[in-house]
Amino acid sequence: MKKTTTLLADGRELIYYDSADSVVRDAVDLRPLEPVATTSEVRADRLLGDAVAVASHRQGRTYHPPADQCPLCPSREGLLSEIPAADYEVVVFENRFPSLAGDKGRCEVVCFTSDHDASFRDLTPARARLVLDAWTDRTQDLSQLPGVVQVYPFENRGEEIGVTLGHPHGQIYGYPFTTPRTALMLRSLAEHRERTGGRNLFDDVLADEIADGSRIVLTGEHWTAFTPYAAHWPYEVHLYPNRRVPDLLGLDEEARAAFPAVYLELLRRFDRIFGDDQPPTPYISGWHQAPFTAPDRREFGLHLELFTIRRTSGKLKFLAGSESGMGAFVNDVPPESAATRLREVATP
């Protein structure tokens, strides 16, 4: 992997990731941009004990532009985009409309391909591996920033999820705090260790799922995917490396090499859940990594969580009173049924 770092016209950082060392990236951003001005702040909720980012400047962010004006496509005659180059493999750059910025964290955009009409599932295994390497490299770099406590690479796909740009891309959030979901995992991790005389919760969850078998979606030498016993979402899959590590930096070469085939297969199955005549399945996919400041971070288990808000053909799972008001989920699809369906739609 070759990494080339440059600056956009307004001073934001942009990084090209290429598979060949011979690639030269010297295109210049010619747009007349003013420096980015953000109003991001993080406020503590005294009742819940968590944090909320307030970012009013995001109200003006780009919203569903025409395909020929996509800011994530390569620059060309008639279009000066966020990427100055005429083509690219994988690109990461600072978000122009960040939820977190400065000493309050960092937000980055990850473009998986220059092909506007593609999706992550359409990537070659080699390109998916390059994206994995970019996620890992950004985790390493963001871990060095004083305002970043936890790094979360994720992808939102589909207008139903709230995506405002159709180009295949994801984001990376460098949070200045431990997120509420991770804090709950760390609490459960500590409680399990105390209750079981030192056993690791992530190891036991994976071992129990493999032993039960009813919720396994696919498994191999280095990765196992399953629908969790208490899944919150209609179709939800957790992907674990078979050897526990706290973050992407801990994966060995064998696990990295095996990841593309496993992940691309999961994404293809997600698009088949509701039938080939249905539009692409909207989903959220994200890596859960240990916070850098957690005292027991070596005990944390890196894993990817992939889920859709579509519960059946033409119907979405809305977070209504119980979920939005109280955080108490009600799932319409038994996890065992979801796992069965995801096994049924395996690639022939």
In the prediction, which pLDDT does 102 show?
A: 85
Residue of 169, 238, 288, 303 with catalytic role:
169
The answer to whether residues 290 and 190 belong to one domain is: yes
Q: Summarize pLDDT for 140-195 with one digit per residue, the tens.
A: 999 999 989 999 999 999 999 989 899 999 999 999 999 999 999 999 999 999 99
Active site residue 222: no
Region of 61 please: left (phi>0), alpha (psi -120 to 50) or beta.
beta
Q: Which of 175, 208, 236 is the last residue of a domain?
A: 175
Residue 326 CB coordination number (10 Å): 8
The answer to whether residues 220 and 315 belong to one domain is: yes
**CATH for 318:** 3.30.428.10
Mean pLDDT of the chain: 95
The answer to whether residues 236 and 340 belong to one domain is: yes
The answer to whether residues 221 and 123 belong to one domain is: no
The answer to whether residues 146 and 201 belong to one domain is: no
The answer to whether residues 24 and 46 belong to one domain is: yes
In the prediction, which pLDDT does 140 show?
A: 98
Does the pLDDT value for residue 86 go beyond 90?
yes
- 58-62, 202-206, 212-216: segment of lowest average pLDDT: 58-62
Q: Which of 152, 175, 198 is the last residue of a domain?
A: 175
Does the pLDDT value for residue 221 go beyond 90?
yes
Residue 269 CB coordination number (10 Å): 23
54 or 141, higher pLDDT: 141
59, HSE (Cβ side, Cα atoms, 13 Å) = 5
The stretch 55-71 carries a mean pLDDT of 79
The answer to whether residues 251 and 146 belong to one domain is: no
Does the pLDDT value for residue 57 go beyond 90?
no
Q: Which of 129, 148, 175 is the last residue of a domain?
A: 175
Whole-angstrom distance, CA of residue 317 vs CA of residue 308 = 9
| Domains identified in the chain, total number | 2
The answer to whether residues 188 and 218 belong to one domain is: yes
The answer to whether residues 231 and 171 belong to one domain is: no
The answer to whether residues 129 and 22 belong to one domain is: yes
Does the pLDDT value for residue 62 go beyond 80?
no
The answer to whether residues 83 and 100 belong to one domain is: yes
Give the residue numbers spanning the domain of 313: 180-344
Q: Taking the C-alpha atoms of 202, 203, 205 and 206 in order, what is their torsion angle to the nearest 10 degrees?
A: 110
The answer to whether residues 128 and 225 belong to one domain is: no
In the prediction, which pLDDT does 179 show?
A: 96
